[in-house]
Structures are given as C-alpha cells and as structure tokens.
Chains A and B, each alone.
Chain A
C-alpha cells in the first residue's frame, strides 16, 4: 500500500511539474493571465459596478452566480450535518469497545483562555462589523466578515459552553438566519430580473446608483450574517459537550 501510494504520488508529481513547467513565470504583468479578462475588470470595474474593491466587484457582480451557488453549498453543508443523527448514541452491541486510544476528556477551560476571549471578543466583533461596512473600499467584505464573526461565535461557544453561546442566535429566527445567504441572493436576483430582465442583473444607469448600492449592501449583509450563523451552527452541531 505504501509503495503504491508513493508510486502514485511520484507519477502525479512528475505530471504536474511537467504541466507547471509550461506556464510562464508568475508576476509578469504582460503574461496571458493579466491581459485578457483581468485587465478588462481592472480597467472598467469601478465604472461598471460602482464598487472600489475589485475583488468584491468580481464576487458579487461579474461572477455573481459563483457566489450564489457557493452560499448554497455552505447552506447545504449545514443541512447535511444537521440531518445526520447525533453521534453520541450508544454503540450497537458487539461492536468493539476500544477506540484506538484515550478518548480526549473534556478539558476545563483555563482562566487564561477565559480572560483573553472575554477581553478580545468585543474588538473582534467590531472588526467583523467594520470589515463588512468598509468592505467596498478596504480589504474586507461579506466572506471575511462571516469568517471572523463565525470564528468569534465558535470561540465564545468554546469558552462559555454551548447553551449560553447558542443564545447568540435567537431560536425563533435561527432557521431564517441560517438561510439568509441563499435567501438574500435569491431575492436580490429576482429584483434584478424584474429591473433589468437578467437574473441577478444590476441596473447599470447612473440614476439607479442608490438602488445598486442597496442591492450590493443587502447581498453582503446576507452573506455575512448567513455565513457567520452557518459556521456557528456547524460548531454547535458537532460540539461534544451535549
């Protein structure tokens, strides 16, 4: 098995190195990577989309369908994890009891960790909000804010216990908040279809500038809130301390 694995890895490595050798060296601004679609987006991006952060412009406007499907993927992962039965039910009789090593005992939270998390949590929350709010002129945006807020909720869940951290996401609104990413995208895409005739189309004329901004902001908020809640729920679903 080991020899087969090494042979396979060597064959794949040689094939990839041969393929990579055919590429021009990276970093050259006149290479074919940068002179076709990339140059068009850099040149016309701000004018076409009204966003100064070109990565957000590519994510939400030029390649909006990719982002739409990707928030659906994230939501589907949560559905899949929640659809599995809880992994703490008793083993069927006859199954081996040995699990290959000591089951990691629940470690009590160290006071250092407790203090640091409590100290940093407000700043991390502000950073997540700032990343969302300033995401169109600085590095940031929907996904970054979702990752930071999700990681914050996971840290709070580790330190304070699952019951207290689960109250961050109110129970009644939980299902709607989890689906906020795909829902927000679907609503904005429908609105874009009604306005421009193209699904997820943004109105391009100058007079509709405010409406375009509102659509982009609602998409970003949907991605950020929906993504953060989905990441926190993934943590809650896998948490070992029932």
Chain B
C-alpha cells in the first residue's frame, strides 16, 4: 500500500519546511527531543566541570585551582548551589524526562507526534529561556544564587544574608520557567499516552518506560504546585517585602522546607522512574527474555508514586519540626523501598539464566542497577530518624543521593543514549569506545562515592568550603584527596563518550531499522524515523517483551507483527 493510498486522519505530510521550522522552531517531537538533549548535555558539562573546582578546593583548600585561581568561600557556596540546581533541573529533567520522553512516547505508542505539537515546541522554548536566565545569573553583580539548591529561608529570603540579590531572583525565575515548561510537557505526555495510542496498544501493552514516563509526569504535575506557590512567596519576600518566611514578621521558615520537599521528594522519582524505565527497556533486549513481572512492575511504580507524596519530611528530621512527625515519616520512607525492591528483583530475575550480550547499553543498564541498589540501601539508613540524626547533612547523604541520582541520570542516561542513538541519528555508536567509557565511568564513580560514605560517617558536613578548618576532619584529608583524584579521572573518563558521540554522529556505521532486534514499535520504522514517524499507523498485537517466543523461529517478535492466523486472514 503506497503512502498516497493511506489518506485520512493522521497522514504524514511531506511539505518542505524552512530551515527555521525544521531545526529551530520545530514541532516534531523527535527534533524537540534532540533540542532538549543538546541543552541538557551542555549543562551536564557545565555542572560537571564545577565539581572539578569544588573537589580541588576540598582536597587542597585555599590553594590555586589549576586553570582557574583561588576559590573564595562565597564562590564555593555558589558552586555547590548551582551544581545541584543544574544537575537536577537542567540535566536530569531535560535529558531523562523531556528528551527520552519526547522521543520515545509517540514512537512507542504508535503515534505520529505529540497530542499538542505546538505546545511541545513552546515547552522547549520556555525551558530554553529558563536556561538563558540561569546562565545569565552567573554574570550579574553579586554572582549566581548561593543559598543551596534547596534555597532554604531565611538565608534565601533576604538579599543581605547571602550578599546575592539578582542572582537568587534570577534563580527563582529560572526555576519558575522550568516548572512551567515541564508542566506543559507533562500535560502533553499524559494526553498523548491517553489518547494517541495506536490500534491494539492497550495500557497493559505499553512499554514500561512509557508507564514510567507518565507516572513521572503525574508525580511532577501534582507535586510542583505547592512549590510554585512557595516560590511565589519567596520571590514576594525578596522583592515586595512580605514576610512569609521571616519570623520577625510572623512568618515560618519551616513552611518553605515543607513546600520544597513536598515537591522535592516526588521529584527524586520524577528523575528515577524514567531512568529505571530505560533500564527496563534495555535488559530484555540484551537478555533475549521477556521482562520478569510486567504487571507487578507497573503496580509497584504506581504504588511508589503514591507513597512518594507522604515521605517528604524525612529531609527535615533535624529542622525543628514537631519530632512526633519523625516516626510516621520514617515508616513511610522505609515502606517506599518495598516497591523499588520489587522492581530491582524483577530486573535481576530478567537477567537470571539469560544469554546476556554485554553491549555498551547493557553494560550501562547493569551498572545502573548495581549502583542503584547500593543507593537504595543507604537510603534506608537515611530514612530512619535515629540514624539520620547522626548522618544528616554529612557527606554520607551526598554519597547516597549520588548513588541514586547519578545512576539514574548518567548511567541510565548513557544506557539510553547508546541504545537509542541509532534511532535518533541513524548511525551506530562505536562499541569499543563505549565500553572504555563504561569501565572508566563505573570504576571512577565508585572510587569517588564509596569513600564519600566513609568521609560522611567521619562527620564531614556537606557544603563546607574548607574541611581543614575543623580539627576532627583533618585525619580525613587523605581520603578527600583520593576522592578528588578519582573525580578528576571520572571527568576525564567522559572524553571517550564525547569523542564517540560526535564521531558517530557523522562517521558512525549507518544503522538499520532494528539493529538490536527489539520488539517495541520505534524499531519498526526507519532510523531516523521520518516526519510523522510511520508509513502507516501500526497495529499492535501483543505485549512489548516477547523474546524467545516459542511461537516463532527467530528469538524476537515485534509488537506490530501479526502471527500466522491473522496473516492468513489478510490474504
């Protein structure tokens, strides 16, 4: 059947678009995904290089950083603040949620584009302006925000307290724009998945990453509202002179912490779930086995999503809130590890007795799993109030959330990039460079963050510019030097990826439609897919993980491939 015959609803159109409409103000979800990806990678480099300055200062305090100069304590505060802000809001969210979500949701559900393509374009450009605002905040008098990525008042509520006026106002503005952008994106994700699924694509046949993406979108949309209200209050405190968070005017500094973490904890899962989704897509493909426990994984995801709304105060055990709240929030926090444990066991069971091929995406997926397990286990330490009293605000916590969020953002992000790069750009990435990249990242990640637990247990507080000021921290200095060396090597270890990315973009082996012999719908169209995604809208016959099915000779069975009876019926 030719394209011409397939008239009617949802036909791809082939009119030539101008340069601007094709690459800049594009409404094509695939282009928008690449735009988010490029901006996210730009910020990843910025946020990553900041760690070099921070780590140097911690290992060799008050010495000149090679290639930079001295780091004043104020500047160190700014680095800590902006590193957190950038990595969470400008790397993890655009790459994991916006980029992979935009690219994969329409392709995986068999849609031609998002439900609201122009809203999608608007989301990206609002995010781009958020990026611009955040970027410009580095260059205003007083420098960028330095009240921590959590922006606790009263420190953040008055310019006089940090010496940063415009930097923090712009920080709030950037976050507000970012939230607006992701709200619009979330509406698009949800509406698209609800309404634009191809014939036969029931909810229980959706690839798991789509489930994870829409759960993340719901979590984001329902948790960010109170923080938007809170940010309005903080901005009003700073600009209009209200006293929401200032005790001298009857306000409550603790109110911000509740509003921030009511968002902040679901936000952790907004980042984590798409990361786990990527791993869940990759593991069956390179295990040649169906995913273990498709439905329980979905139920766990939903359960974890609901629980994530009632755990937030575990960030505030030492904040001066009513101590009677500590026990209930400890309990909910420990309960939330149950659904995630189930997902982890499902991943391990998928690998069990499989003929695994250790390609680069699979290595990164297994890396995500192994690191996330450790991060999850230390989370149980942090979540129980009595233990948290000792380790609160130490490097133990820093190590914990890097084990969870670094694994989701970078290990899972890289896994997804190596896996879907052929679909995104039509070329394969280099396997040898990819494996070098994996081993460097894996080894040096652990070399950085395992010792960080010990430093934290030794009592080193996060966000301090100079540990040598404290006598009890001085014996930890050799460990700090070790961490810094490993951190520099971790940054250097990313060079193979950068080389591989750009080299493969132009010189990589041209990818076929389905280079990994995978089942989901995105592999049934060309690489990269045309505007409109599919020649004809696919019809879905089965669940997405039918590998090594006894019904067919080959070991994979695409979702849109009819089996014999219907093939007969078609003749």
* B is bound to A: no
